[in-house]
Amino acid sequence: MLRTLLLAACAVAVPAQAQQPAWAWDDGTVPFVVTPMEIVERMLRMAEVGPGDMLIDLGSGDGRIVIEAAKRGARGLGVDLDPSLVKLATENARKAGVAGRARFETRDIFETDLSGASVVAFYLLPDFNAKLLPRLLKLKPGTRIVSHDGSIGAWPSDEKLEMRTPEKSVGLGGLSKVELWIVPADAAGRWTSDLGAHGGVWRFQVAQQFQVLDVNARAEGRDLLVRASRLRGEEIKLVVTGVVAGHAWHHLFAGRVSGDTINGELTLSDGNETRRVPWKAARER
Ligand SMILES: C[S@@+](CC[C@H](N)C(=O)[O-])C[C@H]1O[C@@H](n2cnc3c(N)ncnc32)[C@H](O)[C@@H]1O
């Protein structure tokens, strides 16, 4: 605790260390510090953890994130370098009555297979998270990643919550940040869609960085305004608007990206009526 307080004081005095949380050891390793229960609750809620999920906590400490996930009906695996913490977490799961769904292993997070996870959780250092980034991005689209106090390199989060957490034993100001990332599908490229009476053949040129899309749409020989877009796992939404003969129109394309196909629905509105028609797009390779 004394060391933590000293490091916290140093972090105030030396702004250059602001990237590194005050509780990080000098050698860059992550000590055992618990996530307050209130924040565990927020993390699981944000990631919508429930039955059918498989949550992996990287650096599981006393097991609280995995145990709370198991109480919600999920299965969980916690890995930690420290065998005494793995023993403690296993015992805590038994006491909580969820030993059948909560497993703990002594393992390095960088040697942990994440492929079976539908949710990955952690409370680590930004440096660790950045190293995990390439592996996290390769997980199945739709996999949720939830972090307490730590961004993941340049990957912008899909959701963010910041709240005062007075009971927090480390850091400055008793603030906690919870962020959620949803592994995006690959939506980049040139997509074509035949909408028949609704503009004929449409072409969408999609540039993608993480889940952020930059889309150009073209139909009937004209460039169209793409007003908004969102990619959340496999779910894609595009809003294209225009004006014809003084009438404003609004198209909402909503579908799922699966390989080189998007299947979904187009909602057309012109202020007077709203219609829905199937939407299918194919990626040109
Ligand atoms: C800040 S604690 C978080 C504990 C728990 N996840 C929570 O939020 O309450 C980080 C944990 O990561 C573990 N850890 C640090 N480096 C690790 C590594 N390379 N592999 C596995 N565990 C590691 C530490 O032993 C510690 O228990």
Q: What is the pLDDT of residue 257?
A: 98
Q: What is the pLDDT of residues 96-108, one digit of tens each?
A: 999 999 999 999 9
**CA distance linking residue 117 with residue 33, whole number of Å:** 23
Say if CB 218 and CB 199 are below 8 A apart: no
Indicate if 221 and 241 belong to the same structural domain.
yes
pLDDT digits (tens, 9 = 90+) for 46-82: 999 999 999 999 999 999 999 999 999 999 999 999 9
Q: What is the pLDDT of residue 131?
A: 96
Phi-psi region of 44 (alpha: psi -120 to 50; beta: other; left: phi over 0): alpha
Of 39-43, 103-107, 161-165, 208-212, the range with the lowest mean pLDDT is 161-165
Q: Nearest residue CA, atom 15 of ligand 1?
A: 30
> What is the pLDDT, as a whole number, of residue 199?
87
Interval 248-271: pLDDT, tens:
889 999 999 999 999 999 999 987
pLDDT (average), residues 227-237: 98
Q: Among residues 134, 152, 182, which one ends one of the domains? A: 182
> Which residue puts its alpha carbon closest to atom 13 of ligand 1?
59
Query: If you average pLDDT over residues 36-51, what whole number do you get?
Result: 97
pLDDT at 172: 61
156-189 pLDDT tens trace:
999 999 999 988 877 666 899 999 999 999 999 9
Expressed in angstroms and rounded, the spacing between residue 175 Cα and the centre of ligand 1 is: 19
Q: What pLDDT is stored for residue 99 in this prediction?
A: 98
Question: How high is the pLDDT of residue 170?
Answer: 78
Judge if the beta carbon of residue 79 lies within 6 A of ligand 1.
yes
How confident is the model at residue 6, as a pLDDT? 29
CATH number at residue 278: 2.40.128
Q: What angle do CA 89, 90, 91 make, to 5 degrees?
A: 90
- The average pLDDT across 202-222 equals 96
Q: Could you tell me the distance, in angstroms and rounded to a whole number, from the CA of residue 16 to the centre of ligand 1?
A: 24
d(CA 127, CA 125): 5
The last residue of a domain, from among 160, 182, 204:
182
Same domain, 204 and 154: no
Check which CATH number belongs to the domain holding 124 and give it.
Answer: 3.40.50.150
Q: What is the pLDDT of residue 25?
A: 61
User: How many folded domains does the chain comprise?
Assistant: 2
Q: What pLDDT is attached to residue 29? A: 80
**The pLDDT of residue 1 is above 90:** no
CA separation, residue 10 to residues 3, 15, 22 (Å): 10, 9, 8
Of 135, 152, 182, which closes a domain?
Answer: 182
Q: Is the CB of 64 under 6 A from ligand 1?
A: yes
Q: Is the CB of residue 57 below 6 angstroms from any atom belonging to ligand 1?
A: yes
* Cα 138 to chain centroid, rounded: 13
Task: Give the closest residue (by CA) to ligand 1 atom 8.
Answer: 35
Residue from 65, 106, 124 whose mutation best tests the ligand 1 pocket (most atoms within 8 A of CB): 124
Q: Residue 23: what pLDDT? A: 60
Residues 132, 210 within the same domain: no
The pLDDT assigned to 68 comes to 98
Domain hosting residue 173, numbered range = 2-182
Mean predicted lDDT score pLDDT of the chain:
90
Mark whether 166 and 227 lie in a shared domain: no
Residues 49 and 146 in one domain: yes
Which residue type, as a one-letter code, is found at position 89?
A
67 CB under 6 A from ligand 1?
A: no
